[in-house]
Amino acid sequence: MARVKVAVLISGRGSNLKALIDAAAAADYPAEIALVISNRADAGGLDYARDAGIRHVVINHRGFADRDSFDSALEAAIVDAGADLICLAGFMRLLGSAFSLRWQDRILNIHPSLLPAFRGLDTHERVLAAGVRFTGCTVHFVRPEMDDGPIIIQGVVPVLPDEDPERLAARVLAVEHRIFPLALAWAASGRLSVRDGRVIVAGGTAPEEMPINPAA
């Protein structure tokens, strides 16, 4: 079976990249990570790509006059690698709307909240300040607005009493590492379609594929 080639874009630690690399190591996983792009040379996640023998490149946004030229450089590298899907795994740059629309329903982003709540940065601090009882993480198809787009999968994490942002972030991250590989597998095996702004998963989803209130 030909595996779908994926480009993973990162900006930092790369633990979600690592989860995708680990998932793609299975012979029956439908996607192959063909390229890792970081916009920062010091991103720790580049080591995961290097260790796994995956092609990786730094494309520093600061070297470009504007968003469109940065996006064009990203796109050239992605097309050159033969990638058909893009995963944003802690990639902290907003893609331009032309790029997002050209790759519509082929870019997956992970965000550490139950979208559409708590878009943007400092998510866990804001979750705690709001006093919500549950939070979680979301993988969605990218639209031009930040952390916006049709939802593929979410994982739910209870907010414990006396929680602090770091502990909460770690518990949410453990769930991120479960849902991102699953969402990518669904996308790569052609099971996802978008109708009226909502994602349909062909064949449905098993209850154990939807992490609700996990002990993580």
User: From CA 26, how far away is CA 50, in angstroms rounded?
Assistant: 18
User: From CA 143, how far away is CA 57, in angstroms rounded?
Assistant: 24
- Least distance to ligand GAR from the beta carbon of 202, Å? 26
Contacting range for ligand GAR; rule: CB under 6 A; set: 10-18, 50-58, 77-85, 182-190: 10-18
143 binds ligand GAR (CB under 6 A): no
x/- mask, ligand GAR, residues 169-188, rule CB under 6 A, reads ----x--x------------
Give every CB contact of residue 30 below 8 A, 6+ residues apart in sequence.
1, 3, 4, 185, 188, 189
User: From CA 177, how far away is CA 156, in angstroms rounded?
Assistant: 13
- Least distance to ligand GAR from the beta carbon of 2, Å? 27
User: From CA 10, how far away is CA 2, in angstroms rounded?
Assistant: 25
125 binds ligand GAR (CB under 6 A): no
Terminal Cα distance for the chain, rounded = 34
Nearest-CB residue for ligand GAR: 90
User: Which residues 81-110 are close enough to bind ligand GAR by CB under 6 A?
Assistant: 89-90, 110
Would you call 124 a catalytic residue per the annotation? no
Positions in the binding site for ligand GAR (CB under 6 A):
10, 12-16, 45, 89-90, 110-112, 147, 173, 176
